[in-house]
Amino acid sequence: MKKKALLSIGEFSKITGVGIKALRYYDEIGILPPAWIDPESGYRYYSFHQKAIADAIQFCVELGIPLKQFPEYTNEPASWIRYADLVEHGEELIREKIRTLQERLALLKEMRTEIQRAESSYQNSQPEKYRLPARDIWMVPYEGSQSCEAAGQLTNKIILDIHQNGMHLGNTGGLLLLRQEGRWQQFLFVDVQNIPDQKQKHPHILHIPQGIYLCRKVEHSDMQQVWDWSRPFVSEDGIRLVIETELFVGNYRFSSPVLEQRCLLFPLQ
């Protein structure tokens, strides 16, 4: 093979946009070997038709298709490429990425809305009513504040239980007061996301519908203080449940988060 009919690795790099280091790597893993290697200098040379292979490899890189799968779309040595199959796979990956981006965009919008609401609650010294979205929680009976060591240990156990049950962990947790058999019972909870349908009736999982909440920032963790600040605005019988959780303000402090207590007044299905 005459060297003059081939492209040096530098020239091939320029016309394909693939870096020299990447071309050497593709040679090492066997998906784009040079058309010829000078036995004296060791320089690599490529033919123009190999540009199609380089383009297909870059297509895989951009779409996140593992390069170890590239041989599935060509023969050995690479003289043809199953572009139809590669394009079909690429379309599936792009559609999935679009769905993921749309979900993340929706989540960001929800976070922005909650930050704005939280800032309002943080600045307001008086209780205020807000419409808050539904949530699913994993809860276990617990007495005490959420700022002590026992709460941290139990939260860690809940997190591991959620993971072991194949569910997705949410970002927040806290305390819950729930009326059961005529009396209020306290729980520690962590949010759960994307629960499989067959696990909706799990004994530790509670679905809390969207609703109107009476909310107030509190200085420390203590569920019993809710009865003092809520009494002028609503009777105990008018409260469906109470949540104490972190207030997701714009400048979030991990070491000393602001707490908010929320009384569910009107569940909205």
pLDDT of residue 26: 94
pLDDT of residue 196: 72
Q: How far is Cα 60 from Cα 122, in angstroms, rounded to an integer? A: 48
pLDDT of residue 110: 86
pLDDT of residue 248: 82
Edge to edge, what strands does the sheet with 205-208 contain? 128-132, 211-218, 259-267, 241-246, 168-180, 183-193, 135-141, 205-208
| CATH class given for the domain over 126-267 | alpha beta
**CA atoms lying within 13 Å on the CB side of residue 11:** 14
Cα angle 136, 165, 176 (rounded to 5 degrees) comes to 35
Output Rg (C-alpha) for the chain, integer angstroms. 29
pLDDT in tens, 41-78: 899 999 998 998 999 999 899 888 889 988 888 876 66
CATH of 3-81, one of 3.40.50.170, 1.10.1660.10, 3.40.50.300, 1.20.5.440: 1.10.1660.10
The residues of the chain scoring below 70 in pLDDT are 1-2, 76-79, 198-200, 252-255, 269
Per-domain boundaries in the chain: 3-81, 126-267
Q: How far is Cα 252 from Cα 256, in angstroms, rounded to an integer? A: 9
What token pair was written down for 160? 């591991």
pLDDT of residue 193: 87
